[in-house]
Amino acid sequence: MLFNPKKYSRFGILSLAVLGLIAALHGSPAQAYPVLGQDIYYHGGSLQFEILAADSAYISQIYLHTSTGNIWLGNNRGAGVVINIGDPAAIGLNLEDEFILGIHVMNTGNDFFMGGGYDNPDGVVHAAVNYGPNQTGIIGFEDLFGGGDLDYNDAMIKVLGNIGLTSIPEPLSFMLLGSGVLGLMFFRRRRIQYGVENVYSNSSRSS
């Protein structure tokens, strides 16, 4: 069987196109899905926090953790309280930093954080993020050691701002998406052209 470099080059282009599409979709802004136990990142711009009604017998203080310290936002009894941070960099939250909220449960003295359970004293995931449209996320916490009933509504806060799973810069995502689409279009065009050439070739042989 002879080696056909054109055939393998087409497969290479197709592979690049598929990888480009996957990477671009992975880098897209988070919208309308729940996230449990994964790191969240801050992508820039202002932030707004609103404390929502919670279902817990305990009182939990809610904090934003930054490179300069902990910023107190309120507690789970303060439903309706809104906090605006116009320049998060001024309080130590910089572009592409991990976005971390945490709670201090006053009744037990326990502290729990967003992200994987490795940062929590019991090794359990204590926060869930539910994304909605227009860069809105609702973050709910479990306040019992060991995870409790895992319904993530013991302390709840709505965040309006550009936060999401990936730390890939957005321009790179668009470049990858563009390369993926162009690669697929090129591969399809080559397949059509190759099919036409085969038809002419077979016709010439039969005649």
The Cα 114–Cα 159 span in angstroms is 13
Angle at the Cα of 57 from the Cα atoms of 54 and 100, rounded to 5 degrees: 50
Predicted TM-score of the model (pTM): 0.68
Per-residue pLDDT of the chain (207 residues; tens, 9 = 90+): 554 544 544 545 545 454 554 544 444 444 456 899 999 999 999 999 999 999 999 999 999 999 999 999 999 999 999 999 999 999 999 999 999 999 999 999 999 999 999 999 999 999 999 998 889 999 999 999 999 999 999 999 999 999 998 765 545 444 555 555 565 565 566 555 555 455 455 555 555
CATH number for 34-164 (one of 2.60.120.400, 2.40.50.100, 3.40.50.2020, 3.40.50.150): it is 2.60.120.400
Q: Where do the structural domains in the chain lie, given as residue ranges?
A: 34-164, 169-207
Whole-angstrom CA distances from 95 to 37, 163, 165 are 21, 10, 13
The Cα 117–Cα 123 span in angstroms is 4
User: DSSP label at 103?
Assistant: E
Q: 122 φ, ψ to 5°?
A: -100, 0
Of the candidates 85, 80, 38, which has an alpha carbon nearest to the alpha carbon of residue 66?
Answer: 85
Residue with tokens 């806060």: 157
In the chain, the amino acid numbered 48 is: Q
